[in-house]
Amino acid sequence: MSRVHKVATVQFEPTMFEKERNIARLIELCEAAALAGARLIVTPEMGTTGYCWFDRAEVAPFVETVPGPTTDRFTALARKHDCYIVIGMPEIDSDGIHFNCAVLIGPDGVIGQHRKSHPYISEPKWAAAGDLGHQVFDTPIGRIALLICMDIHFVETARLVALQGANVICHISNWLAERTPAPYWISRAFENGCYLIESNRWGLERTVQFSGGSCVIAPDGTVSAVIDGGDGFAVADMDLDATRARRVGGEAVFVQRRPELYAGLLSDTFSWNPRDFFKLYGHRPWPPGRISQITVAQMQPGGDVEVNLASIASLARQAKLQSGSDLVVFPELAVSGLVETGARAQPIPGPVTDRLCRLAAELNMHIVVGLAERDGGAIYNSACLIGPEGLVAVYRKIHLTDAERNWASPGDAWVVADTPVGRIGLLIGHDASFPEAGRILALEGCDLIACPAAVKERFSSPHPGSQVPQDHPIPTGADPYHWHHFRVRAGENNLYFAFSNVFNPEEGYPGLSGVFGPDTFEFPRREAIAPDVEGTATATMDTTNLDTVYPTNVVRRKDLVAMRMPHSYRALITKAAD
């Protein structure tokens, strides 16, 4: 059996109230893609009817059962060309309930369907939330999963199907509000080591402007083919073998998952007013909101602890003097260095942390710094949160790379600490490759995740001025990096994310440290990215609220986190890696 198949994304602008015209045009585009060799063809969300319906009564003349007349027409096309087609349509079930539906059709008819599980603001006007879960369908051309638009905002959906062995996620959408291919799309392929075929509509409908950018994204996050605007299709190869190992930056991430620590994913923290939730029984109310300056320090730690400590002190003073920083995050193992690390492991608390405590007190700031920790006979890759008040918290890296397992033991506890700056969660480098980690800290009410890192693998689109060509072709927006994986981590969790990476291009460490804001679709972005040198970057973190019963700041309100559907996420904590 061939392991490489041609796939196609179809981009199309449907017209409301003209269902027959829409279906005829979609069949025309699908047939053209099939004649170009595509075995899997993906069309947009609600492509048969258009999207912006006022209510159930208005959409009622256009809903259908699955199977039904529309799926029969696409079955005939799939049979003719021995291909597989995904269509988006409004479905009605036997009880008269309407759903926003994606249907996978093959030469023998309907293979399966997905009902949009995480509704956007428009679906409640006419449709129920999906009730079929997140399935994967076996076909001769691979294991295929379906997601619809808003579903992919939630890390859990793509992870659920990837854990079931999906080779490809067919994501059909009516995406808006940002330049496409959207960073969310790229991150879901990248973090799950699978293909993502994105079919997005374009055009204007009832004052809503849709953004096109339909594309095929490879497991390493590369955009293999894309359509910027207009009707059409794009074709790319899908190599099933590229999805087998589920690798991110060379690491087989699924076998490194720690599902025994992910039970928090099933909680529904933000379904209640978080101001009430986090002070319930007098336990852990949030620190008061404030304006803070958050800095990431980009540096190249070496093998001499004293030299590293001097660099840390210099960069901390620079951040305080130039930016008035309240918190500075330094890279992973900034104290100990990245080579023969275990030999320089330090006790915590100990002489090194005592010196850092004095530095924090001198500068009246908080510091997050990575170092190798020795505790009895065990060594950990750790991060310390230190403030003027002393050592606040220690976190031991939970998700170790294969190389780290040669010298370090994994940690077994998440760490969240309340400081005058806000509620801070800690992750270290490779931890942030696991979407489960950031989500758990968000559910604990974190304002900020501080992430010391030593990450080599690609996690952003290159700067358009660099010698490395940009992905094929992503239009450059207001910022120089269209996609930064850790910007996505911030937005999907409605928190600030301070990512401090090692800068050592000769050894493959690209830097690209940054402080990223809590709102994916806010422009200009609340962020700062470090230049391609050693130094610092600072952004403002705002956790203030108006004096109201319910939080008015997105970082404390966490709109996106509040829309999760945790009752359908159980497999994330019980299912072993595929």
Gap between the Cα atoms of 453 and 499, Å rounded: 7
For residues 393, 397, 398, 401, the Cα torsion angle rounded to the nearest 10 degrees is 170
Residue 483 near residue 187 (C-beta atoms within 8 A): yes
Q: What is the DSSP letter of 412?
A: -
Q: E strands within 397-464?
A: 416-419, 422-426, 448-453
Pairing mode of beta strands 327-329, 366-375:
parallel
For the residues of 197-228, what is the DSSP string, one character each? EEEE-EEEETTEEEE---EEE-TTS-EEEE--
Reply yes or no on whether 149 is catalytic: yes
Q: Are 476 and 482 in contact (CB under 8 A)?
A: yes
User: Can you tell me the distance from the alpha carbon of 158 to that of 194, in angstroms, rounded to the nearest whole number?
Assistant: 10
β-pair partners for 500: 452
52 in active site = no
329 touches 370 (CB < 8 A): no
Catalytic one of 6, 13, 45, 446? 45
Q: Which of 149, 384, 446, 451 is an active site residue? A: 149
Sort 277 into a burial class: Cβ within 10 Å, 0-12 / 13-18 / 19+.
Answer: middle
C-alpha span between 539 and 71 (Å, rounded): 51
The DSSP string of 431-466 is GGGSHHHHHHHHHTT-SEEEEEE---S--BPPPTTS
d(CA 434, CA 493): 13
The answer to whether 116 is a known catalytic residue is yes
- Which regions of 36-132 does DSSP assign to beta strands (E)? 40-42, 84-92, 98-106, 109-115
Return the structure tokens found at 396: 């031991």
CB 367 within 8 A of CB 328: yes
**Closest Cα to residue 165, out of 185, 194, 198, 131?**
194
Of the candidates 6, 64, 101, 116, the residue annotated as catalytic is 116
Decide if 317 contacts 356 (C-beta within 8 A).
no
CA dist 359 and 368 (Å) reads: 12
The 3-state DSSP class for residue 105 equals strand
Instruction: Tell me whether strands 40-42 and 4-11 are parallel, antiparallel or unpaired.
Output: parallel
- For tokens 């997140």, the residue is 134
Cα–Cα distance between 218 and 253 in angstroms, integer? 16
In the three-class reduction of DSSP (H, G, I as helix; E, B as strand; rest coil), residue 310 is classed as: helix
C-alpha to C-alpha distances, 191 to 188, 251, 258, nearest whole angstrom: 6, 11, 15
* Token pair of 433 as six digits: 């490759």
| Token duo for residue 88 | 């988006």
Place of tokens 């890279």: 331
One-letter amino acid of 451: C
Would you state the structure tokens that stand for residue 229, as one six-digit string? 């605007």
Q: Which residues are catalytic?
A: 45, 116, 149
